[in-house]
Structure 1
């Protein structure tokens, strides 16, 4: 199993929740020597399986921000892509991310996934179905230009070092 990683950008702040788009549908990006696009519905199966998906900082399993099992990470397919909501922990890491988001210093969102169904048309890869393992708030640049991070109030409304995974370093 090779877990792949993709990045996305954008950040605004409000309250203690990070809210945004982790993976846009229909937005092409350049990955090494090919282009890639995520098809609508690519996350339907993995979300319906009620997997315990993590929210991390920079793909570091030692910096957990939330998880679907506890309800501190909520994921859903929206019209534009994979939407998320993370309730930030009251920890040094959570508070630091909040401050970085308020300043606009976060690089965006990334996801770690395994492509379970894809297709190729020349150099264009379309992801039709993925097995999502984690999303990460990252300080690096993004591959998908239309993902977002914003911080909201709830009141209204390591894997990197794991030899089992292959990480792709991406250029914006």
Structure 2
């Protein structure tokens, strides 16, 4: 990641952010309540969503005020041989940008992540590797983060201990209802995409 002050052509200045929100063809380890597996975002996964003009904000830690946006032209995304390249023109007078600049210059923040939906995926025959072949970035985000969240989940995947904690907090009747919904057991491909299960678990725990 890099921040650079530039002349905006009108006598003022802008802060140019550049970095990669995702690196393709680079395996990383994932874990959910079914166990550990490897995940890879394949080259070309961003082609369709970028061509469709996805509306994507640039934010910090996947939330807060939008600092740049593809819709306004202040954020530009492109997929190259490395991954999802991010270029954002930030307002140097914004206190949020000043805070981000300070954190980056101090080395306190130096990672990126992004939020998206998986629209196409493939699993290895033994279900130990998930290849994400296409994603949808529309109304997701690209984000500077304290610690890089896994790019396929943006915080949506729950580890087994999180699931156990929620299950233990449920009344017996609701726990039985949840377990009944898993019969017959879902395919590993469906189960590994835990955004759905996360929503169900949270709903059941209310």
TM bucket normalised to smaller: 0.7 to 0.9
Whether 1:25 aligns to 2:24 is yes
* Match of residue 188 from structure 2: none
Q: Is the 8 A contact 2:74 2:88 kept in 1?
A: yes
- Which of the residues 156, 160, 175 maps onto 1:167? 156
Whether 1:43 aligns to 2:50 is no
Whether 1:130 aligns to 2:129 is no
Query: Post-superposition shift, 1:140?
Result: 2.1
Counterparts of 2:94 and 2:113 in 1: how far apart (Å)?
A: 21
Q: Is the 8 A contact 1:107 1:142 kept in 2?
A: no
What TM-score, normalized to structure 1?
0.74
Query: Post-superposition shift, 1:169?
Result: 6.4
When the two structures are aligned, how many residues end up with a matched partner?
Answer: 139
What TM-score, normalized to structure 2?
0.62
Query: Post-superposition shift, 1:168?
Result: 2.9
3-state SS of the aligned residue for 2:99?
Answer: helix
Structure with greater proportional strand content: 1
Query: Post-superposition shift, 1:12?
Result: 4.0
Structure of higher RCO (CA pairs closer than 8 Å, 6+ residues apart): 1
Q: Is the 8 A contact 2:113 2:148 kept in 1?
A: no
Counterparts of 2:158 and 2:67 in 1: how far apart (Å)?
A: 22
Q: 1:91 to 1:76 in 2, by over 3 A?
A: same
Q: Is the 8 A contact 1:12 1:102 kept in 2?
A: no
Q: Is the 8 A contact 2:28 2:40 kept in 1?
A: yes
Query: Post-superposition shift, 1:48?
Result: 0.6
Pairing 1:51-130 to 2, within 5 Å after superposition: 51-60=54-63, 62-89=64-91, 90-121=93-124, 122-130=127-135
Instruction: Name stretches of at least 5 consecutive residues in structure 2 with no aligned partner.
Output: 6-14, 160-206
Query: Post-superposition shift, 1:142?
Result: 4.9
Q: Is the 8 A contact 1:58 1:138 kept in 2?
A: yes
